[in-house]
Amino acid sequence: MKISKKSQYGLRAIIYLAKSKKKVCPLKEISEAERISFDFLEKIISELREAGFVRAKKGMKGGYYLAQKPEKINIGEMIKVLEGEIALVKCTTPRKSCPREKKCLAKNFWEKFQDSLISALDSMTLADLIKNEKL
């Protein structure tokens, strides 16, 4: 199992915004500071904006900022926006079925493992990630 670069970069970008002393950060600044391709970051931020995690300010002093306080931004929800439906194996995807589903002794394990992962992601907020930062 591997979390995509998209989610890794999205998390880094949103942490950058949370830690920023400025209210609004230009995308180029985030891209350079986090060493993320500007074009790729632009796509990621666009998805985060559409989902309501960040907002944009246009103009000369424009850029992006958090749409909510870090305590209100759930990491699990953000990852789900960038990754899509979290399904570790085919049989844990709600709309998919497996021909071995009724006889499979491993399915219960995969469901519990997936539930634990989702629960861990959903239990964290952006504030949890940045609160121990030594400034």
Q: How many CB atoms lie within 10 A of CB 8?
A: 15
Sign of the C-alpha dihedral computed for residues 62, 31, 122 and 114 taken in this order: positive
Q: pLDDT: is 103 or 53 the higher one?
A: 53
Domain membership flag for residue 135: no
Domain membership flag for residue 44: yes
Q: Is the pLDDT of residue 135 over 60?
A: no
pLDDT for residue 125: 95
Q: How many domains does the chain have?
A: 1
pTM of the complete model beyond 0.95:
no
For residue 39, the 8-state DSSP code is H
pLDDT band for 120, please (50, 70, 90 cuts).
very high
How far is 96 from 73, CA to CA, in rounded Å? 30
- The answer to whether 33 and 23 have CB atoms below 8 angstroms apart is no
Domain membership flag for residue 74: yes
Provide the token pair at 2.
């591997």
- The answer to whether 11 and 78 have CB atoms below 8 angstroms apart is yes
The arithmetic mean of pLDDT across residues 48-62, rounded, is 94
How far is 70 from 15, CA to CA, in rounded Å? 9
Q: Is the pLDDT of residue 78 over 60?
A: yes
pLDDT tens readout for residues 6-47: 999 999 999 999 999 778 999 999 999 999 999 999 999 999
Which residues form the domain of 90?
5-130
Q: How many CB atoms lie within 10 A of CB 2?
A: 6
Any idea what the CATH number is for the domain that residue 26 is in?
1.10.10.10
How far is 76 from 81, CA to CA, in rounded Å? 9
Domain membership flag for residue 84: yes
